[in-house]
Structure 1
Amino acid sequence: MSALFAITIKGKVVDEGGQPLVGATILVKGTTQSTFSDENGDFTLANVDEGAILQISFIGYITRERKAAPQLGTIKMELVIGKLTEVTVNAGYYSVKESERTGNISKINAKDIEKQPVSNVLASMQGRMAGVDIIQDSGTPGSGFQIKIRGLNSLREDGNEPLYIIDGVPYSSEVIGYYNTTSGIPTPTSPLNSINPNDVESIEVLKDADATAIYGSRGANGVVLITTKKGKAGKTSVTASASSGIGKVTKMIDLMDTQQYLEMRKQGFANDGVTNYPDWAYDINGTWDQNRYTDWQKELLGGTAVIANMQASVSGGSDLTQYLINGTYHTETTVLPGDFKYDKAAVHFSMNHRSEDNKFKFTFSTGYTAQDNLQPETDISRTARNLAPNAPALYDANGNLNFENSTFQNPLAALRGISTAKTNDLIANTVLSYQIAPDWELKTNLGLTDIKNGEQRLLPSTMYDPAYHLGSSNSAMFSSNTQRKSWIVEPQLRWSHNFGISTIDVLVGGTAQQQTTSRLYQFGYGFASNSQITDIASATQKSIFVSDETQYKYQAFFGRLNYNWDQKYIVNLTGRRDGSSRFGPGKQFATFGAIGAAWLFSKESFLKDNAVLSFGKLRASYGSSGSDQIGDYQYLDTYISSGLNYNGAIGLDPTRLYNPDFSWETNQKLETAIEMGFFRDRIFFTAAWYRNRSSNQLVGIPLPGTTGFSSINANLNATVQNMGLEFTLRTLNFDRNSFKWTTNFNISAPKNKLLSFPGLEGSTYSNRYVIGESTSIVKTYQLKGVNPQTGLYEVEDFNKDGMITSLGDKKVIMDLTPQYFGGLENQFQYKNWQLNFLFQFVKQKNYIYTPNVPGGSFFNQSSDMIKAWQHEGDQVPFQMNTSGENGAAVNAYYNYLDSNAPIVDASYIRLKNIAVSYDLPLHAIKGVHCKLSLLGQNVLTFTPYKGGDPEFKYTAYLPPLKTITAGLQLTF
């Protein structure tokens, strides 16, 4: 047996074009001994055993292996395009190659994110990931997004958020602020706006048990891993970019013009037998000009939002230390009339360092974001759709707001009420690691988050008609101040050993985390002057809604065992023992775990080097993860100050009953999948089937009214199942000379079902859920149509009792869960040109926009309402118009609203994103790279839906915007 000798290795790493690759990693396989290539692509690695295997890797390129020799010469790297299995993905506590992954993980990187003119990182994920359904809450700047990873697991609306991890630090997605201070958007302020998309290197979404069980009680709804950008070795690089653009509402609703509207109104009064129009019917009694027409959607929502973004970064370093500092400023106005604005500034810094012997490694990253959002306190989108088309002008002859002698409620007056939100967010992470022996590594992850949010909703007396003579003593303000701090410490020990034909990798660790949240929600009324309205101390009446501080403590031990036999058979075991302060004594700890396995059948002898099949893998996983998303102190008796003075003392009101017995929601996850690559992975296909069953549901159990409480928090033996299929396809269609064309396609078909719910029929949930149906159903009446004789809507009397009642006749089930959704992306590259576009598609049902009052009322209606019933015998889709005096017609209309008729096909195909860029040659300026870009978001929408934007859930709020931006980037 020959002895091994230590040698020094030298070599050079270049790309496909022969240009040096700076920062490529050269690793001695089976050890942590490594180095990096310098600015010329050269590297030197000393004290390497003769006969060792070197792995040369670089992000975006296929990993190469070479046998150690003093002179390796030039190593040409090949782009990973066409070899997806070589991509490394982040699985949270560890990284794994795509080919060896046993769990289900979707990924997008910075190149995908940079092509999209978005301010919220969740927007960049829409349509790009199988099984990940994301909906934008509103087109108002700074609004949030809803994300569902493989469906809704919890019966609680606030219990379906995934776990967010930024550089190893958990980031709470619990809302900040108070709903009363943000009425201009449908949901409270989302903390995820603080994540700056320009700072993100990659986003991985963990979905199945194998991927999520290591996060235990927080992984039931999936895990979103966000990795920020890091510096790379090489000479100092400076990048500066600027972009600006515009935003417009994607789609308006087709409403009646003045003549159609007035005819509708006349019919309504005539049908009610009213011949003399009442004094308040200004639109039709001659008070307002009946020849006037205003498209109020265009007038109030048809403005242009102006968007600007500026960014600068500096990066570089040696093979031992790398750094990156990045600064971003984003500003955005709205489409509404007025000076409303959203500003966001962010700075990000990271530094990596390793010792010369490569045993000690240090990584530090931090980001600070400041947001300042000034928006209307009320969304006037509903007003724009309801307002009579012959309503008066917004301004009088003197340029003042026009109230038309107190007959007109000017919508611009409502915009004098404002909502402000100022958020400052700090997140910091440090990772220290040391190789204590050749196969042993000790690592510690340290993290800190600190978010401060201050909001005010201001309602000055100037919002109202001056004729009412309301002074500032009628002004009001709502105030919200929230601060949330958390820290985390995670020591970890890893042992990895290569036995030749097999490899074993063991990871054990622990987590200690603490989060403290303090809140102060106040109300003030009556001010000496409107100039004092932001100072609650100046209010004559003051109330405190909430003033508290909560603390969340969490600890856990986790582990992973991965065994790889001959790179063909892989088993992955993960587990976690969790403890949470959100549960009572005896219920605070739980254990979660999973097993995943993969068989790389393409490496079997009978398929090896197959000319067609280049990669094939079967994988499966089963396990459990949990959820403690219930808020703090939910199991305790809790009280709130009554605010009432009794004999000189302020009393307490009970708000929650004690129940120490409720515990974790648990999600059992099962998945099987196949992954195949053909023709050197030029065609790569995956298919996955999953079944998740969430049980031990935490809900409010109804109580008798005699207890003084409507419900008590408890576990219910109800089970929700999410089952579905996911498919992805990637093809390298053309790659020759200077032209390259790739396609990415994904489609998901989810199915949500309530499997069990003991005592459902006798509970308060009986009108909401049906066993065997989705948890997103709506129980409705069955619309029979318009009776040709009476002209009224009729719904089916299912129980034949002669009455229409909710309990007896709402028997039609409408499922609002998307049947399928996905995306189709194409990427073209020709010389210095790049073109990328993504089509997002969804098959779904949704409510059509329908006013809350019947046709004929003092509200504009859809232009389709010209087909309303007029004469006996009419066969029409809409009932007779009524001014509101016909009680039977009004009641029939409300039955119509509660029927299946307003729920229509809201499927759509949308050109979600398009990006065109050109690398401009600057031959006269050596070392300078210039890139021009044109980006679009929500560009075109194809849909049969007539209710505005089909993606949008809230028809009473501003829909998402179509944005177009142009940008310039310089790199020195």
Structure 2
Amino acid sequence: MNHKSKPMKWLSIGLIALCVSIQLNAQRIVTGVITDTDGVALIGVNVLEQGTSNGTITDLDGKFSLQVAGPNSVLQITYTGLQPISLPVGNDNNFNIEMEEDAQLLGEVVVSALGYETRKDESGSTSSVIGTEQIQRSGEAMVLNSLAAKASNVEILSTNGDPGAGVNFRIRGANTIEGSSNPLIIVDGIPISNSTIYTGGASLTGSRSGGVSQQSRLNDLNPADIESIQVLKGASAASLWGSRAANGVLVITTKNGKSGRPKITYSASLSLDEVSERMPMQNTYGKGRDGVYDERSSRAEAWGDRIADRAGGADDVDQSGEYFEAADGTLYYPLANRNVKNSRETFVDENWNSVFQTGHFLQHDLSISGGTERATFYFSLGRIDQDGIIRGSEYNKTNIRLNNKMIFNDWLSMSTKAGYISSHGNRIQQNSNTSGLLLGLLRTPPDFDQRDYIGTYYNDDGVATPRAHRSYRNLLGSSINPGYTNPLWSLYEQKNTTDVDRFIVSSELNATPNSWLTFTLRGGVDSYSDRRITFFPIGSADSDTRNGAYGEDVVAETEINFDAIARGNFKLADKIGLTATVGWNINDRSRDINESLLQGFLVNSTKITTDLNTASEASSISKTRRLIRSNRGYGVLAFDLFDRLFINVSGATEAVSSVDGNFFYPSIDGAWQFVKSSNKDLLSFGKLRASWGQVGIQPFAHRGQTLPEGGFAYSTYSDGVSINQFGGGFRIDNTGNDPNLRPELKTEWEIGTDLRFFSDKLSLNMTYYQNEIKDMLLFVETSPSSGFEQIYTNAGSMENKGFETEIDYLAVQNNDWNINVFGNFATNENLVTDLKGVTSVDIGAGQSVSSRAVVGEPLGVLWSTSAQRNPDGSYVLNDNGFPIITSSEGIVGDPNPDWRAGLGFAVSWKKLTLSALFDHQQGGDFSFRTLFVLGRFGTTAETAVETMLEQDIVNYDGDIFPAGTLVRGNIYDFGGGPVLRDEAWYRTGPGGGFGDGKIYEFGIYDATNTRLRELSLSYTLDSPWFRNKTKISGITFTATGRNLFLWDNLEGIDPQVNQFGVGNSRGLDYFTNPSTKSVLFSLRITY
């Protein structure tokens, strides 16, 4: 043995021990908790020491513990859907880490028409994404209203400001004439109804031209439950839905739970609502004509005496005979002289305030979500209680939702999403309707106090008539016909309620037997019933309801949808991949409408019961049923070439019960990424895309054959006796149907580009598109010798072309500041190209101004009388210098705008955020018939202008007024010199009122407008100190303004309202209930 080696041995052992000791002293354990921005613990977050395989994941409480090499170590923290974090360890041993959503990743992931997530950068078709933050920021209680101005070429127009009122919703303009322009709505993979159904007569539950507002069914959803909304605009993106997709597709994804401890969120919102635009009214002149007061009911106008010139004091009345006693005991007598009124009191503001109020709604939303790695859930409960700006109008809604997902093993999972909605509303009569609210209110002279609207009428013999209806044309309530309904009678005596119950349930089973193949079974049901009750007591104005009317309608719709889908991923060659999808869809839709009407009460009662008249001839019943069933097979081939070029080829073959035969809908789109993650200082991403596709619109159900009808009038030459009074009967329908119907066919192509600059801080997309719709389904008038008045057939064609762009710029992003600017711009040019030999088709028949489809013109042009013109465009004038009416009607305006744009910003400083959104419409025309008609009645401020004449002047009747005279009227020059527009022009001439001989062109106005759609200020409390002290993840306080300012060329109305409610007509008004502007305060607490 060599003893000299022993010292070296011990020295070596000592050196090794020293090194190990140093290394052990350098290594240490770091711990931490990882949460999302709401403070909710994240389960399964990957925590990896950079440059090594040393790592761990967070537990159920979001905690982790990891031994690292030393202070120079860096932790790489990653989680799907959240921004990755690189965290130097340094000298810290414990970390509180907050992970934020990866906005870039979320922006790249979109949902296809079939409900699958795809990368937007790989798509050749156009779509827009609206996230939950944008929806919540709007403060809107209705889903559709929250989308306004947020996506290019998406038109959102509220029909009026009534609680729950329907919304006109179009993508890329009109795509049909007689059918619905509503896009197809897909919620969690299944189609649901967004129908707006009008039932009853014009003065009952409502036709489009007069009655009450009907709802858009999409607004049944709770905005707080929505994760994202995808707008599929082009035919190629929507073609898999065949003959239901010509209007585009709206894909809605509701929220899911995330693994982790339960996350509880509660929010409360209070909105204060006001009338957005008030009509300027006059309080200078009283009831009557020709400058003389007249209390007779036949004198419906306010062209009477000058109120300031009256004697003053109490009126001289005749107490010897009839009188009216109001509910509070106030007595009303006829004037001693019907043409002499002493009182100078006016009631314009009092009458207005008795009808309108500061409306409000209070909304509560509670959600609980959470789960494990294998099972997650999301539960929510929402409630809104709204009182509208019109007294007596209301809307109450309860939403309950439960979404869950179960992962059974590595290859099988199942998700179910279920929602229940219950709502109640009371609507107010409007529009072309003598029981309409504004029709009665705005025609009322300023010297009539409408507040004592109900009481007891006593005739000359002292006989009492209880529940008498007092109005300005029925001053003592002596007649059962009030002329026009007193607005307060409309509010408090008439009922127009709706009660909706709705279930939406979808379930999806996914099986992945291997890495490249997935099977999906998806089914769902959407079912609702809408019970509508309308009650008009005896004494209401309309001739159909004057003796009392009680209507009850029940609308029920059910849609059952089922899909079986298989998807496979294949590698065809190096850097060439294919995703193939095949599927089969079965869809069944039914609609039942049961209408019952009781007219002519035997008892003057407010009790809503059929006992008010039990005679069979007083009641009528109608039942309508619609059934449509379809089968559709579809497939998609998605090619990935070198991770640069992406081509999608798809097709759907469909058979629908409403037509014979099968129809095929193909599409193709391509995307080429010519710049990808390079040159980040300027262009960081660039894509060119193009697409082509065909989609359709189904015919109305049961229109393939001509059927008999019942309930018709036996004689149209005398009294129109109903055939029902003779035991019933049937005859062939007056409308013939074509047995060879085909779906309308829309063919569309588009090209565009998606660009991102400065490391994706600036994004810009642009698209140009053209489409043509053929075989459009129309009711075409036919010769009486055919045995039909009209026939439903494929008879028209139409085209659209336009440009759209969206921009988003993250101008500043650092620890304290975030500044984001965004906007959109769009044009759409529509043209009706053929109507099968017919010059025009009426799509919105007003009494004096209608909306029409005219060959060679955009859909919906305004059609009425106009002034004759010379070749140079100047007016043809009569001898007094006034325009002459045309001998026939023609186009007087086009409601379609030249372009639309939205522009907004969001500025955040630390926890304080200010955001705004402006909405602009350039061009388009609006028929302001309310103002035009009120000219006859002399109640508007325009008709009460007093002018001191500087020269002799003539009015419409040829009367000459000398200089120096104070006249009621305004000076105007039609091209032949100044003339006086006074009572002769507005009331008896062509410049106001209704009926024949009126130049309705003068009621058409430019609808250009800009509005501050949204203004929001919010502050969030979520600091670590606050969380530790309160155990609350965060509290957000928000103040929001909606439609606070409107800049336009009109006074007294919002040009977005629509007399015809939800439909294809635009730009029409006739005493439409007003829209609203609002201030909303909200509180959101997350635990």
Look up the equivalent residue of 2:490 and give its one-letter code: A
> What is residue 280 of structure 2 aligned with on the other side?
254
> What is residue 831 of structure 1 aligned with on the other side?
910
5+ long unaligned stretches in structure 2: 1-30, 47-55, 66-75, 87-94, 305-338, 431-435, 457-466, 713-721, 844-849, 948-953, 962-970, 1060-1068
Per-residue CA shift, 1:169-221, capped at 9, x if unaligned?
11123334514343376653432232222221111111112211111111111
> What is residue 156 of structure 2 aligned with on the other side?
134
Secondary structure of residue in 2 paired with 1:212: helix
> What is residue 356 of structure 1 aligned with on the other side?
409
> What is residue 50 of structure 1 aligned with on the other side?
none
> What is residue 732 of structure 1 aligned with on the other side?
810
Which sits farther off after the overlay, 755-764 or 902-911?
755-764
- Cα offset, 1:481, TM superposition: 0.8
Question: 1:296–1:384: 8 Å Cα contact kept in structure 2?
Answer: no
- Cα offset, 1:678, TM superposition: 0.5
Question: 1:311–1:329: 8 Å Cα contact kept in structure 2?
Answer: yes
Change (3 A) 1:125 1:653: same
- Cα offset, 1:894, TM superposition: 6.2
For 1:287 and 1:834, locate their aligned partners in 2 and report how far apart those are by CA, in whole Å. 59
Of residues 384, 396, 417 in structure 2, which corresponds to 1:330? 384
1:180-259 correspondence to structure 2 within 5 Å: 180=201, 181-183=204-206, 187-255=213-281, 257-259=282-284
- Cα offset, 1:772, TM superposition: 3.0
> What is residue 685 of structure 2 aligned with on the other side?
615
> What is residue 556 of structure 1 aligned with on the other side?
632
Change (3 A) 1:410 1:704: same
> What is residue 828 of structure 2 aligned with on the other side?
750
Per-residue CA shift, 1:761-812, capped at 9, x if unaligned?
498899944433212223452466888875574147xxxxxxx3216xx3x5
Question: 1:728–1:745: 8 Å Cα contact kept in structure 2?
Answer: yes
1:797-808 correspondence to structure 2 within 5 Å: 804-806=886-888
Secondary structure of residue in 1 paired with 2:529: strand
Secondary structure of residue in 2 paired with 1:631: coil
Secondary structure of residue in 2 paired with 1:389: coil
> What is residue 651 of structure 1 aligned with on the other side?
729
Look up the equivalent residue of 1:190 and give its one-letter code: S
> What is residue 719 of structure 2 aligned with on the other side?
none
- Cα offset, 1:722, TM superposition: 0.8
Change (3 A) 1:888 1:377: closer
Secondary structure of residue in 2 paired with 1:601: strand
> What is residue 917 of structure 1 aligned with on the other side?
1018
> What is residue 32 of structure 1 aligned with on the other side?
none
For 2:841 and 2:905, locate their aligned partners in 1 and report how far apart those are by CA, in whole Å. 50
1:517-916 correspondence to structure 2 within 5 Å: 517-527=591-601, 529=603, 533-536=607-610, 538-540=612-614, 541-583=617-659, 587-603=660-676, 608-628=678-698, 630-642=699-711, 649-655=727-733, 656-716=735-795, 718-761=796-839, 768-779=852-863, 781-782=866-867, 791=880, 793-795=882-884, 804-806=886-888, 810=890, 814-851=893-930, 857-863=936-942, 866=945, 870=955, 872=960, 875-876=972-973, 880-882=981-983, 898-916=999-1017
Secondary structure of residue in 2 paired with 1:258: coil
> What is residue 1078 of structure 2 aligned with on the other side?
963
Per-residue CA shift, 1:367-405, capped at 9, x if unaligned?
000011123345412333222122234138999985542
- Cα offset, 1:896, TM superposition: 8.1
Question: 2:1014–2:1040: 8 Å Cα contact kept in structure 1?
Answer: yes
For 1:747 and 1:105, locate their aligned partners in 2 and report how far apart those are by CA, in whole Å. 14
Question: 2:912–2:1020: 8 Å Cα contact kept in structure 1?
Answer: yes
For 1:736 and 1:291, locate their aligned partners in 2 and report how far apart those are by CA, in whole Å. 64
Question: 2:710–2:728: 8 Å Cα contact kept in structure 1?
Answer: yes
Per-residue CA shift, 1:296-331, capped at 9, x if unaligned?
773255411121001111110001100011000001
RMSD of aligned alpha carbons: 3.9
> What is residue 940 of structure 1 aligned with on the other side?
1045
Q: How many residue pairs get matched?
A: 906
For 2:803 and 2:842, locate their aligned partners in 1 and report how far apart those are by CA, in whole Å. 33
Look up the equivalent residue of 1:665 and give its one-letter code: E
Secondary structure of residue in 2 paired with 1:307: strand
Secondary structure of residue in 1 paired with 2:945: helix
Look up the equivalent residue of 2:1083 and give its one-letter code: L
Change (3 A) 1:600 1:950: same
Question: 1:320–1:353: 8 Å Cα contact kept in structure 2?
Answer: yes
- Cα offset, 1:162, TM superposition: 1.2
Per-residue CA shift, 1:637-696, capped at 9, x if unaligned?
223333766897521133343421011100001100011110011111111001111111
Change (3 A) 1:159 1:751: same
Change (3 A) 1:853 1:205: closer
Which sits farther off after the overlay, 414-423 or 916-925?
916-925
Question: 2:496–2:535: 8 Å Cα contact kept in structure 1?
Answer: yes
> What's the TM-score, normalizing by structure 2?
0.76
> What is residue 487 of structure 2 aligned with on the other side?
411
> What is residue 175 of structure 1 aligned with on the other side?
196
Question: 2:932–2:993: 8 Å Cα contact kept in structure 1?
Answer: no
> What is residue 1057 of structure 2 aligned with on the other side?
952
Question: 1:502–1:563: 8 Å Cα contact kept in structure 2?
Answer: yes
> What is residue 391 of structure 1 aligned with on the other side?
448
Look up the equivalent residue of 1:224 and give its one-letter code: L
Look up the equivalent residue of 1:778 and give its one-letter code: L
Change (3 A) 1:279 1:452: closer
- Percent of aligned pairs with the same residue? 21
- Cα offset, 1:492, TM superposition: 0.4
Look up the equivalent residue of 1:182 and give its one-letter code: T
Look up the equivalent residue of 1:827 and give its one-letter code: A
Question: 2:710–2:731: 8 Å Cα contact kept in structure 1?
Answer: yes
Change (3 A) 1:854 1:525: closer
Secondary structure of residue in 2 paired with 1:806: coil
Question: 1:13–1:77: 8 Å Cα contact kept in structure 2?
Answer: no
For 1:646 and 1:827, locate their aligned partners in 2 and report how far apart those are by CA, in whole Å. 64
Secondary structure of residue in 1 paired with 2:427: strand
Of residues 454, 475, 491 in structure 1, which corresponds to 2:531? 454
Secondary structure of residue in 1 paired with 2:489: helix
Larger Rg: 2
Question: 1:62–1:86: 8 Å Cα contact kept in structure 2?
Answer: no
- Cα offset, 1:333, TM superposition: 0.5
Which sits farther off after the overlay, 759-768 or 451-460?
759-768
Which sits farther off after the overlay, 451-460 or 12-21?
12-21
Per-residue CA shift, 1:413-447, capped at 9, x if unaligned?
22211101000000100000101222111110110
Secondary structure of residue in 2 paired with 1:298: helix
- Cα offset, 1:289, TM superposition: 3.7
Question: 1:635–1:662: 8 Å Cα contact kept in structure 2?
Answer: yes
Secondary structure of residue in 2 paired with 1:461: coil
Q: Is residue 488 from structure 1 mapped to residue 593 from structure 2 by the alignment?
A: no
- Cα offset, 1:410, TM superposition: 3.0
Secondary structure of residue in 2 paired with 1:772: coil
Change (3 A) 1:276 1:621: closer
Of residues 362, 371, 377 in structure 1, which corresponds to 2:423? 371
For 2:586 and 2:929, locate their aligned partners in 1 and report how far apart those are by CA, in whole Å. 51
> What is residue 352 of structure 2 aligned with on the other side?
298
5+ long unaligned stretches in structure 1: 1-10, 27-34, 45-53, 65-72, 797-803
Per-residue CA shift, 1:821-864, capped at 9, x if unaligned?
12112112222212221111111333353448767744413526
For 2:645 and 2:346, locate their aligned partners in 1 and report how far apart those are by CA, in whole Å. 76
Per-residue CA shift, 1:68-96, capped at 9, x if unaligned?
xxxxx999977544677534444434221
Per-residue CA shift, 1:674-721, capped at 9, x if unaligned?
1111001111111100111111110012112244432111111x3211
- Cα offset, 1:872, TM superposition: 4.7
> What's the TM-score, normalizing by structure 1?
0.85
Of residues 3, 9, 22 in structure 1, which corresponds to 2:42? 22
- Cα offset, 1:529, TM superposition: 4.8
- Cα offset, 1:929, TM superposition: 2.3
